[in-house]
């Protein structure tokens, strides 16, 4: 079986802030079926370290970006792991990327440069005789690996694929860190990793990885445009021939309405009713005949939930109710708390709660995802699987995964949800009104739910695409 090293800064179920973790956690299982074994290189955060049983030390470093480090080999949660245990970088309380002050840890460049450096060292030296045929790198936190590998070895290099999950995060560092980060002076150039006078880790990956992918075909096209490229669209246009979009899947064992321990199991939409009643009770809402919309999301500018705040009065006027679970920017948290105070039809839970997110998917009638940009998005996929109709902005993966209920799609009986564009509060209101209309036609609504639940959202198709890409990289002379 061919071997790949997947390198990510988070990986479910061990450590998660967003969808990247779900993807990094699900990919190894999905790729195994395609004839590829993935080992996953992760930082040794406290939660990861405490999950390891029988870890074996396979490499040591006296000084890796400011302190001693060890590489551990272990198995946990069905994953074949390599863990970078570097207490000076990863053994700390608080959020993964942010300190208690809500700001990025000042040494984030060193933390993930160390991860990337170790990925390259594994590619070049192997670990205990094991060597990957391919490096699969995720986001900026792993993006320096191709450059480090180039610097370490003048011989044959292990080919690399960089997957962009979100172009908004670049991994910027001051040029004064060049030496500390073990980066070569020659690379501080606009054609390499220099970016407006600073070091840009993601750019290094976009330039030096052999192939690039992102998590939906639409986002792959959007990334080439200045509105979406976040300053890196020019770099991506140069590499257009090497960039593909492969949709994320969801883990259908974790998200399975027929066998989800958090909910009253169901296989057809008419059996969702108990979950709906429980959810209304759990959120302290009043039972109503109108649609119950849900949101499970990070609360950031990207997610467009300020637009939803504007759309709420019109939706409530039509008998709608909304339950939101999320956390993130303090201003957005405060705005949502205030909305719940002001409107009895709106209920909000601020925080992160995996179990509740399952109950919401099971009990909701519709899931709202009004993102300004969305590389792929996973919650609309959970919605489909649980017969919770997605109402989404027409962008990125949201455009690629939901079949919009326009006249043609309704006539052909293929629609699975609602989309709106341009991404404004007015257009979102329009989509929510279409949702209310559709909800009133109960037989039609139930047909849409059945189609949604039958829509393929698992990994098989996408894993086959990744396998083809892996093959193309490893079969080159």
User: Which does residue 353 bind out of ligand GLC, ligand ADP, none, counting CB within 5 to 8 angstroms by kind?
Assistant: ligand ADP
327 forms part of the interface with ligand ADP (CB under 6 A): yes
170 forms part of the interface with ligand GLC (CB under 6 A): no
Specify the stretch interacting with ligand ADP by CB under 6 A; choose among 85-93, 223-231, 294-302, 429-437.
294-302
**Beta strand ranges found along 149-230 (DSSP E):** 160-164, 172-173, 194-195, 198-200, 211-214
H or E stretch covering 61: strand 53-61
Specify the stretch interacting with ligand GLC by CB under 6 A; choose among 153-161, 335-343, 360-368, 374-382.
374-382
Nearest to 143 by CA among 70, 87, 91, 193: 193
Among positions 4, 5, 8, 23, the unique one binding ligand GLC when judged by CB under 6 A: 23
22 forms part of the interface with ligand ADP (CB under 6 A): yes
Among positions 296, 389, 436, 469, the unique one binding ligand ADP when judged by CB under 6 A: 296
Let me know if 241 is exposed, middle or buried by CB neighbors in 10 A (0-12, 13-18, 19+).
exposed
Number of chain residues interacting with ligand GLC (CB under 6 A): 14
20 forms part of the interface with ligand GLC (CB under 6 A): yes
Q: Which residues contact 69 (CB under 8 A, 6 or more apart)?
A: 60, 61, 84, 85, 86, 89, 114, 118
305 forms part of the interface with ligand ADP (CB under 6 A): no
What is the rounded distance in angstroms from the CA atom of residue 280 to the CA atom of residue 275? 9
Residues 197-236 that bind ligand GLC (CB under 6 A): 215
43 forms part of the interface with ligand ADP (CB under 6 A): no
What is the rounded distance in angstroms from the CA atom of residue 230 to the CA atom of residue 239? 16
User: Which does residue 432 bind out of ligand GLC, ligand ADP, none, counting CB within 5 to 8 angstroms by kind?
Assistant: none
What is the rounded distance in angstroms from the CA atom of residue 387 to the CA atom of residue 397? 19
Q: Contact 18/298 with Cβ under 8 angstroms?
A: yes
Q: Output the residue with the shortest Cβ distance to ligand GLC.
A: 19
364 forms part of the interface with ligand ADP (CB under 6 A): no
Residues 380-439 that bind ligand GLC (CB under 6 A): 397
378 forms part of the interface with ligand GLC (CB under 6 A): yes
- Closest to ligand GLC by CB, 363 vs 377, is 377
DSSP for residue 388: -
Alpha-carbon Rg for the chain in angstroms = 23
What is the rounded distance in angstroms from the CA atom of residue 221 to the CA atom of residue 416? 23
Q: Which residue has the tokens 């043609």?
A: 408
- Closest to ligand GLC by CB, 161 vs 215, is 215
CB of 361 to ligand GLC, least distance (A): 16
| DSSP structure string for 428-443 | HHHHHHHHHHHHHSHH
User: Which does residue 71 bind out of ligand GLC, ligand ADP, none, counting CB within 5 to 8 angstroms by kind?
Assistant: none
What is the rounded distance in angstroms from the CA atom of residue 33 to the CA atom of residue 16? 24
H or E stretch covering 212: strand 211-214
Residues 240-259 that bind ligand GLC (CB under 6 A): 248
Residues near ligand GLC, by CB under 6 A: 18-20, 23, 165-166, 215, 248, 374-378, 397
Residues near ligand ADP, by CB under 6 A: 18-20, 22, 296-298, 325-327, 352-354, 357, 376-379
């Amino acid at each position: 079986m061919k071997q790949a090293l997947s390198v990510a800064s988070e990986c479910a179920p061990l450590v998660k802030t967003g969808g990247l973790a779900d993807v990094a956690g699900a990919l190894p299982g999905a790729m195994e079926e395609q004839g590829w074994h993935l080992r996953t290189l992760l930082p040794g955060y406290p939660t990861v370290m405490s999950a390891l049983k029988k870890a074996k030390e396979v490499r040591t470093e006296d000084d890796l970006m400011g302190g001693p480090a060890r590489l551990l080999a272990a198995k946990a949660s069905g994953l074949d792991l390599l863990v970078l245990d570097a207490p000076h970088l990863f053994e700390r309380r608080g959020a993964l990327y942010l300190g208690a002050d809500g700001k990025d840890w000042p040494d984030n460049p060193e933390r993930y440069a160390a991860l990337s450096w170790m990925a390259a060292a594994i590619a070049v030296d192997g670990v205990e005789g094991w060597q990957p045929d391919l490096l699969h790198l995720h986001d900026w936190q792993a993006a320096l690996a191709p450059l480090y590998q180039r610097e370490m070895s003048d011989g044959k290099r292990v080919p690399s694929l960089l997957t962009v999950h979100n172009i908004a995060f670049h991994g910027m560092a001051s040029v004064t860190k060049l030496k500390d980060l073990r980066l070569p002076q020659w690379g501080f150039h606009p054609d390499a990793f220099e970016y407006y006078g600073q070091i840009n880790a993601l750019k290094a990956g976009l330039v030096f990885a052999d192939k690039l992918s992102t998590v939906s075909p639409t986002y792959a096209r959007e990334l080439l445009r200045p509105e979406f490229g976040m300053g890196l669209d020019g770099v991506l246009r140069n590499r257009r021939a090497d960039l593909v979009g492969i949709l994320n899947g969801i883990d259908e064992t974790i998200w399975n309405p027929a066998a989800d321990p958090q909910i009253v199991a169901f296989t057809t939409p008419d059996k969702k009713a108990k979950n709906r009643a429980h959810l209304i009770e759990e959120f302290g809402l009043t039972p109503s005949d109108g649609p119950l919309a849900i949101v499970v999301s990070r609360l950031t500018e990207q997610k467009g939930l300020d637009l939803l705040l504007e759309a709420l009065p019109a939706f409530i006027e039509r008998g709608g109710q909304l339950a939101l679970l999320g956390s993130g920017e303090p201003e957005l948290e405060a705005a949502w708390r205030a909305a719940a105070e002001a409107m009895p039809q709106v209920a909000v839970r601020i925080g992160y709660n995996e179990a509740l997110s399952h109950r919401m998917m099971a009990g909701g009638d519709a899931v709202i995802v009004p993102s300004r940009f969305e590389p792929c998005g996973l919650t609309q996929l959970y919605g489909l699987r649980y017969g919770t109709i997605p109402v989404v902005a027409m962008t990125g993966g949201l455009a690629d995964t939901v079949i919009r209920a326009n006249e043609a799609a309704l006539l052909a009986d293929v629609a699975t949800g609602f989309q709106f564009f341009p991404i404004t509060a007015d257009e979102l209101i329009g989509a929510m009104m279409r949702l209310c209309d559709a909800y009133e036609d109960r037989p039609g609504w139930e047909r849409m739910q059945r189609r949604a639940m039958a829509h393929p959202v698992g990994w098989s198709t996408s894993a086959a695409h990744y396998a083809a890409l892996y093959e193309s990289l490893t079969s080159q002379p």
